[in-house]
Amino acid sequence: MSRAEAIARITGYFDEGGFFADLARRVAIHTESQEPSQKPELYRYLTDEMRPSLEPLGFECRIFDNPVERGGPFLVARRHEADGLPTVMSYGHGDVVRGYDDQWQEGLNPWELKKVGERWYGRGTADNKGQHTINLAALSAVLEARGRLGFNVTLLIETSEENGSPGLREFCAAHKALFGADVFIASDGPRLAPERPTVFMGARGVFNFDLTVDLRAGGHHSGNWGGLLANPGIILAHAIASLTGPTGEILVPEWRPPAIPNSVRAAVAGLEIDGGPEGPEVDPDWGEPGLTPAERVFAWNSFEVLAFKTGNPDNPVNAIPPRAGAHCHLRYVVPSDPEAFMPGLRRHLDAQGFGMVEITPAEDVMAATRLDPEHPWARWAIASLEATSGKAVAVLPNLGGSLPNDVFSEVLGLPTIWVPHSYAACSQHAPNEHILEPVSREALQLMTGLFWDLGAGGTPAD
């Protein structure tokens, strides 16, 4: 059997409805990890769906309880073919965000996969059941076509990613021996544009914090006290305004990354940001001046005010509010130092006369990661995807969004290659989540080609 025949086989699986059927069964399991009452469903996804799919392919499956109480179980599935072959680690998450069942478009239900035109709707289609279903089907197609894979696989399926991946780091650190590999290849997140095969090798980090100005116990009538009492909303607005220029340029020195490395600049040159027909337009003059849109989202840090509240916005009264608060965050790239973010902010606010602004950083920080686009495994994967698709692959040194990738890149020390199968306007985390039929079909072909090539020799592991 040849590479082309393996790809023909996976195309048949898609065209004859095999992919739809496999994904429909998985979508139907209510794996809402943010709902503690659904924990049995998290186990069921692993025991009744993943294990019976993987064991016939020669995977040895083990299910582990999460070391963290609120976390769901892990599945580790290993297929060891022979010593001396390359070993790939892969990953997926079987949990989804809440269904929000009553907010979907007429005729749609989050737990029932439904095709409407080129869109396949269902909770988890994009994030992440559809994506790992594609990768498992591709492995299976290579195994059938070649009679063996030509490499070893260790697969980790977690079930609390949408809950912040509690226990993932501890679990991987404690079971490092299970996850020895040459390369990490997995799928999550969006392509740069729907028709453009994409790889990313890391993720921006995310750092959340609250800013508060709390001046007094209660509100006071604005007629009797206006002009006499300081307004916390105005103070906080000025404090926030001192953090960026009027078009979002970051002014806190510790929040700004050093110059963009040439390899990163070269990788993102010419990438056009396209959220699909229903995505928003990029604001040309927002963010760091002199950077292209791709550099702003993939190679720079951004600061956002996510929510800002003073008084009672739903029911304003004639009073000077006692308090104002804002929930903010930074998305940041390698090699920014998150340890310096809050001391830098404190120094900056104090210097501007905003000593009364309190800073409360969130406990969970997601680290930034990035693999050099010139890394041998990155070049190998890009070449394979280009051979299958005949298209130029979009190469992102890191995703704009955030993933627990540092567990794989730092704790396990693996070169990490992500091949996303979704697109930016997929409504992931919202009602009407969906995947696109042509993207899914192409993704199955791309992953079959990639896994074929992994077992064909001549990889960076040899």
Q: Please give the Cα distance from 161 to 71 (Å, whole number).
A: 9
Residue 125 Cβ vs Zn ion, minimum distance, rounded to whole Å: 12
Interface segment toward Zn ion; rule CB under 5 A; list 113-121, 127-135, 170-178, 243-251 = 127-135
Interface segment toward Zn ion; rule CB under 5 A; list 72-80, 122-130, 210-218, 419-427 = 122-130
How many Cβ atoms are within 10 Å of 236's Cβ, its own excluded? 24
95: contact with Zn ion by CB under 5 A: no
- Scanning the structure block, which residue is given the tokens 């390899």? 263
- Which is it for the CA torsion 400, 210, 407, 98, positive or negative? negative
Residue 160 Cβ vs Zn ion, minimum distance, rounded to whole Å: 11
Three-state SS for 395?
strand
Residue 378 Cβ vs Zn ion, minimum distance, rounded to whole Å: 24
Residue 188 Cβ vs Zn ion, minimum distance, rounded to whole Å: 8
Nearer to Zn ion, 152 or 160 (CB): 160
Nearer to Zn ion, 130 or 167 (CB): 130
Residue 10 Cβ vs Zn ion, minimum distance, rounded to whole Å: 25
Residue 162 Cβ vs Zn ion, minimum distance, rounded to whole Å: 5
DSSP-assigned states of every residue in 56-80: GGT-EEEEE--SSTTPPPEEEEEE-
Residue 60 Cβ vs Zn ion, minimum distance, rounded to whole Å: 28
For the chain, give percent helix, strand, coil, nearest 5.
35, 20, 45
Residue 428 Cβ vs Zn ion, minimum distance, rounded to whole Å: 6
Helix (H) or strand (E) holding 394: strand 394-396
Query: Who contacts 178 (Cβ-Cβ below 8 Å, separation ≥6)?
Result: 76, 78, 154
How many Cβ atoms are within 10 Å of 396's Cβ, its own excluded? 28
Nearer to Zn ion, 127 or 288 (CB): 127
**How many residues belong to the site for Zn ion (CB under 5 A)?**
1
CA-CA-CA-CA dihedral for 400, 406, 409, 415, to nearest 10:
-10
- Which is it for the CA torsion 442, 445, 450, 453, positive or negative? negative
Burial 43-60 (b: 16+ CB within 10 A, else e): bbbbeebbbebbeeeebe
Residue 189 Cβ vs Zn ion, minimum distance, rounded to whole Å: 9
Interface segment toward Zn ion; rule CB under 5 A; list 25-33, 69-77, 119-127, 401-409 = 119-127
Tell me whether strands 220-221 and 394-396 are parallel, antiparallel or unpaired.
unpaired
Q: Please give the Cα distance from 11 to 244 (Å, whole number).
A: 50
Q: Please give the Cα distance from 155 to 287 (Å, whole number).
A: 39
127: contact with Zn ion by CB under 5 A: yes
Nearer to Zn ion, 127 or 254 (CB): 127
- Scanning the structure block, which residue is given the tokens 């070049």? 379
Nearer to Zn ion, 33 or 459 (CB): 33
Nearer to Zn ion, 95 or 295 (CB): 95
Nearest one of 165, 54, 118 to 404, comparing CA atoms: 165
Interface segment toward Zn ion; rule CB under 5 A; list 121-129, 366-374, 381-389, 416-424 = 121-129
The answer to whether 309 and 213 are in contact (CB under 8 A) is no
Nearer to Zn ion, 135 or 231 (CB): 135
Cα 54 to Cα 46, 60, 86, 136, 357, distances in angstroms? 10, 8, 20, 8, 54
188: contact with Zn ion by CB under 5 A: no
Nearer to Zn ion, 32 or 254 (CB): 32
Q: Please give the Cα distance from 100 to 210 (Å, whole number).
A: 27
Residue nearest to Zn ion (CB): 127
Residue 30 Cβ vs Zn ion, minimum distance, rounded to whole Å: 16
Nearer to Zn ion, 127 or 406 (CB): 127
Nearer to Zn ion, 127 or 295 (CB): 127
Nearest one of 174, 156, 140 to 88, comparing CA atoms: 156
What token pair was written down for 345?
Answer: 């902010």
Residue 165 Cβ vs Zn ion, minimum distance, rounded to whole Å: 10
Residue 161 Cβ vs Zn ion, minimum distance, rounded to whole Å: 6
Query: Footprint of Zn ion on residues 388-417 (CB under 5 A)?
Result: none
Nearer to Zn ion, 53 or 422 (CB): 422
Nearer to Zn ion, 78 or 421 (CB): 421
Q: Please give the Cα distance from 179 to 430 (Å, whole number).
A: 33
Which positions touch Zn ion (CB under 5 A)? 127
